[in-house]
Amino acid sequence: MSFNPTPSQALLLFGLLAAHGECAQANVMPAVTKADREALENAKLISVEKKGRGLYLSLSDAGWNWAAGNLSAELPPAHLTLHEMLARLGEFLEKNDETLAAFIGAKPKEKDEPKPIAAKRKSTRTSSKTAASAKEQKPGKTTKAKAGTGTERKPGKTPKPRPPSATALRKRIEVAYLALTGGRKNESVRLARLRRELSDLDRTVVDAALGRILKGDKKASLMRHDDPNQLDQADHAAAFSPAGEPFHIIWIAS
């Protein structure tokens, strides 16, 4: 007996297709319902695997075949543009005798984080300057003052601390993430909670680190939350919006 996915189930299949056929359920937007997931799993179009405390979804061969033959399948009304784009893609593949699998391609390898060479040099240079300054300072001249004379020097402005290096920031984010999940990975954490955990850092510093994650990180990823009913004012205020598209959630894989 053939199985005809509903519009929302078809959207889930195409969402996995866009992720090269597999990804964590938490990365699929709109949020996956249990009914749709189980229906597709029972129809052998997807496989579901438990990873940590989350689920990992993969298109089966049957799922790939269904997607290749149904690029013009009906989708929810809110996704009319995607429906039209997929239909044009189907026409292009047929006209050029190409396969959907060749068009999607293999999942790219994740890039390793760059080594913090610049940060190390800066640290060494700062240490050298501090040592040189200590040698030049004459003992007793600036710190001694007679008691009760009122000649003690007033402390100057406290210098603003330098932001941590890119590697140190990435580590801080992961430590904060694990503190919020009870030491577990493969869980979604709202940026509103993460920012509160990193409240000692300027927002611009945290945003710079989130931007690096968005460009490509070995384990971490940012996600959007498309259901406004599940977002509160704190979520909107804490969103990371580098190009006008807000991200509300961070995920770190094991």
pLDDT, average across residues 23-41: 90
DSSP 242: T
15-18's contacts with Cβ under 8 Å and 24+ in sequence apart are: 16/46, 16/57, 16/58, 16/59, 16/63, 17/59, 17/64, 17/67, 17/100, 17/104
pLDDT in the model for residue 118: 46
For 214-253, write each residue's pLDDT tens digit.
888 889 999 887 677 788 888 888 999 887 778 899 999 9
Closest to 220 in 3D by CA, of 20, 1, 81, 24: 24
Report the C-alpha gap between 206 and 242 in whole angstroms.
Answer: 12
Is residue 100's pLDDT more than 50?
yes
Question: What tokens appear for 73 in the block?
Answer: 């399948």
Question: What tokens appear for 91 in the block?
Answer: 């026409």
Number of H helices, E strands in the chain: 10, 6
Closest to 251 in 3D by CA, of 207, 172, 194, 168: 194
For 127-159, write each residue's pLDDT tens digit.
555 555 555 555 555 444 445 454 555 555 666
Taking the model in full, what pTM does it have? 0.43
**Residue labelled with tokens 């799922």:** 63
Q: Which domains does the chain have, with CATH numbers?
A: 7-104 (1.10.10), 165-254 (1.10.10)
Closest to 46 in 3D by CA, of 54, 99, 32, 205: 32
pLDDT in the model for residue 57: 94
SS3 content of the chain, % helix, strand, coil (to 5): 50, 10, 40
pLDDT in the model for residue 119: 45
Query: What percentage of the chain has pLDDT greater than the value 90?
Result: 33
Query: What percentage of the chain has pLDDT greater than the value 70?
Result: 78
